Structure 1
Amino acid sequence: MGNLARKYQQEQRHEQQQQMVKVPKKVKVKNPWLSPGEKALGLVFTAILCYGAVHIVSNEAAIYEINKEIQDTKVSIQEQKKVNGDLEMQIGELSTYERIWEKAKELGLKLNENNVKAVQD
């Protein structure tokens, strides 16, 4: 039993020495992937990028609306030109010499060639 007691004491001393000799583990300091300044710059860059994207999209939408208004205006101009052309044709038809003479007769006007005066420019 003496031998067993010695073995036990040696094991205890050995454990104590190991505990004393044990070097505390170094705590690893985690270096952040990005510094706070880099994070701020990244945030500012992202904000500017988003603002630019929204600005471009809104400009494109405005351009689209203006182009649509231009096309609508062109269509209305074409329609008005067609109406004007039809009216000019009516003017041409209504201003013929025969028609004017008929209207003059209906209103009781007579042609007196002695009363006609020529107008010079």
Structure 2
Amino acid sequence: MSNLANKIQQVQHEQQQTIISPKRKKSQKSWLSPGEKILGMLFCVLVFVGAIHIISNQSAIYEVNKDIKNMSSSIQEQKKTNEDLTTQVSDLSNYDRVRKIAEKLGLTLDENNVKVVQR
């Protein structure tokens, strides 16, 4: 009987192998259609272009701000120069100084010919 049992076991084993071997492979469908893939790529390109546009605008804004700061500092320097020159003009237009220079040049003061000018 052991011989008969061995034969039955072999036959069952061969049947299992034949049943197991003809497995079908399932075709895997893409979870995105070609149209969706194109739309996705288009979206990625638009995001990339938008990011580059934003970065370039920020760079331009930075340059303009830098120019504004430089211009502001040059304006402050010019204001200081103007104040110094105004002080110098008021010192040089002092009445006593003008009279001394006029006397050195040989000019005399005629009280009848003097006109008062106010600033």
Report percent identity of matched pairs: 49
Within 5 Å, which residues of 2 pair with 1:7-18?
A: none
Is 2:21 the counterpart of 1:32? no
2:108 is matched with 110
CA distance in 1, matches of 2:77, 2:68: 14
Specify every segment of 5 or more residues in structure 2 that has no aligned partner in the other structure, as ranges: 1-6
* Alpha-carbon RMSD: 2.9
Q: Secondary structure at the match of 2:109?
A: coil
2:55 to 57, 60, 73: 57
CA distance in 2, matches of 1:30, 1:85: 83
1:97 to 85, 95, 98: 95
Within 5 Å, which residues of 2 pair with 1:66-85?
A: 66-85=64-83
Specify every segment of 5 or more residues in structure 1 that has no aligned partner in the other structure, as ranges: 1-7
2:44 to 37, 43, 46: 46
User: TM-score w.r.t. structure 2 length?
Assistant: 0.76
Q: Which has the larger radius of gyration?
A: 1
Shift of residue 112, structure 1, vs aligned partner: 2.0
Shift of residue 25, structure 1, vs aligned partner: 3.4
